Chains A and B, each alone.
Chain A
């Protein structure tokens, strides 16, 4: 339950309310996270919240977290400046099934800030591109101004070995891309139900509809992974806050095969 001291080395504004922080340990680092895992970030005097790792440390890259300022602690974290201190505990939770997905097509579907925990998975597939089949990244957000990692998305889109599709819920006439919910991009993707791994993170309603669409195209629930979110205080299964029916999201999740949580996500206010 004791964090390690870290400091902010760089900070980028992704959208009007979302920032990416680059972090380095003051002395000892946390264990290297795997794509999909999260840490608990502590802001001095304000509190601690779970935040997905949006960039893995290593090869000169820092530990990255992308944070949307929506509450007391997330606002304090987004207010940190390079040089400021914070606490990091972790990493915690399950990771995306990237090993099991080797040799198969990969479809990644992200809504809003849900792209953050998927970015390390996208980077992993691109680095180990020959280990996977066809690769599609589907991204949705509210407006063009809410698009995370726009520069990176553009550079991925310039590659011939990944299909990147972006859609927004609403836009001014200056936007020439797609308008509509992210699930509207699914018909463009070829789906081989026997040879596919789907990874999703976004609002629960998006994941429900996205998962339903994939299941309708014959994809098995065990091949669809979703990343879930609940209030968390301890991240080690002791505080009771993150329960989703029988699951502790901090320890059993946050990444689950749909076969484990599909019926639970369908229960209102669970």
Chain B
């Protein structure tokens, strides 16, 4: 059978060599690993660190790990963490300020960017990286450390064959198959008789990695099998986000649904912590005990906190209704005005990790549908 240009087949035992290759190329590898009952993003040095044979059950306010298809490398959906923590860490020093007599001296901390391979991130999270690029890297004031981290990150994306109940990427057009933005794309094909990976390099670095792996050109049947896995994922996904929400949610700022959702929302901010595109940050100022050196540290913030909108005289968004409305209208509506796209990539984390299980797809549909 004819081979398909640009597509290669690698066996599981041969793909195990990837981690050593990435190490030789000077990358530290971050990827999916099990910790505290969840699949998180951690350091990966070999296949023993991967959640092989494990799957997840997700639903509104629910996440559990259990045994999945034996031997499958990627039989699970996204866990609570995305690439966001790697590219803009939850806490990072901004400045050291030294008081020299009456004069202040501002010193930026030394910043070392480590070449990193993000292995096994999903198409929705790759899309989220591009969403955050528009905020932090492509505006008039690019964040130099975000840009440095982005420029030294190699992306090995894994297309999804086993979506979670909370996924809705087909409706946001961000998955389950990545189309661009990766160095290497991997699709796992696993059934009773076969287990192999179809690799597609998306950059010169990806080509080099494939060349270093034991591989052979993929034939049409193998590529079709890879496409069938993501097509099956599309079929398995039942949730969807209404289209074209720009200009429609904020216009319904007085809708009674905001009161209903506010009665359930705990204002805990979990949704903003697991969201791969949320970018709000705060700064913390402290001084040392001697009082002559101060530090500024940037930390993730959430629009669900009272302090987020604090002004003298009180907070602008003093109740949960206004904070949930801020989050949802920004994510799905005003993000378009600001950045020309939606702030939602359909990963479903905010549904899974919401303690009362609020589902933004349901809320958005109720608000724009008049329900």
A interface list, Cβ under 8 A from B: 1-5, 7, 26, 42, 44-48, 68, 70-71, 74, 83-87, 229-231, 233-234, 236-241, 243, 245-246, 248, 251, 267-270
CB–CB B301/A239 < 8 A: yes
Q: What residues of chain B lie closer than 8 Å to A87, measured between beta carbons?
A: 97, 104, 106
Question: CA of A192 to CA of B83 in the docked complex: distance in angstroms?
Answer: 57
CB–CB B97/A44 < 8 A: yes
Question: Which one, A2, A234, A238, A241, contacts B108 given CB within 8 A?
Answer: A2
Residue of B nearest to A80 (CB): B102
Query: Which of B104, B141, B303: most chain A CB closer than 10 A?
Result: B104
Question: CA of A245 to CA of B338 in the docked complex: distance in angstroms?
Answer: 10
Q: What residues of chain A lie closer than 8 Å to B108, measured between beta carbons?
A: 2
Question: CA of A168 to CA of B321 in the docked complex: distance in angstroms?
Answer: 36
Closest CB of chain B to A163's CB: distance in Å?
31
Question: Which one, B99, B281, B296, B316, contacts A238 given CB within 8 A?
Answer: B281
Residue of B nearest to A252 (CB): B338
Q: Is B282 an interface residue (CB 8 A)?
A: yes
Interface size on B, residues (CB 8 A): 50
Residue of A nearest to B280 (CB): A240
Known A238-B136, A239-B281: A45·B286 in contact at CB below 8 Å: yes
A-B interface, 10 closest residue pairs, ranked by CB to CB distance from nearest: A246-B337, A240-B280, A269-B322, A70-B312, A45-B287, A236-B141, A246-B334, A45-B294, A85-B104, A85-B103
Given contacts A238-B141, A243-B330, A269-B316, 10 further A-B contacts (CB under 8 A): A7-B102, A48-B285, A231-B307, A231-B310, A231-B311, A233-B301, A239-B280, A241-B282, A241-B309, A248-B338
Q: What residues of chain B lie closer than 8 Å to A237, measured between beta carbons?
A: 135, 139-141
Known A230-B316, A238-B141: A1·B94 in contact at CB below 8 Å: yes
Question: CA of A237 to CA of B135 in the docked complex: distance in angstroms?
Answer: 8
Closest CB of chain B to A90's CB: distance in Å?
12
Question: Which one, A231, A238, A241, contacts B143 given CB within 8 A?
Answer: A238
Question: CA of A243 to CA of B103 in the docked complex: distance in angstroms?
Answer: 34
CB–CB A230/B103 < 8 A: no
CB–CB A5/B103 < 8 A: yes
CB–CB A84/B319 < 8 A: no
Residue of A nearest to B139 (CB): A237
CB–CB B95/A2 < 8 A: yes
CB–CB A269/B318 < 8 A: yes
CB–CB A47/B281 < 8 A: no
CB–CB B97/A233 < 8 A: no
Q: Is B221 an interface residue (CB 8 A)?
A: no
Question: CA of A238 to CA of B87 in the docked complex: distance in angstroms?
Answer: 14
Q: What residues of chain B lie closer than 8 Å to A234, measured between beta carbons?
A: 281
CB–CB B106/A2 < 8 A: yes
Within 8 A of A (CB), among B275-326: 279-283, 285-287, 291, 294, 296, 301, 303, 307-313, 316-319, 321-322, 326
CB–CB A246/B287 < 8 A: no
Question: CA of A87 to CA of B318 in the docked complex: distance in angstroms?
Answer: 31
Within 8 A of A (CB), among B135-182: 135-136, 139-141, 143
Q: Is B253 an interface residue (CB 8 A)?
A: yes
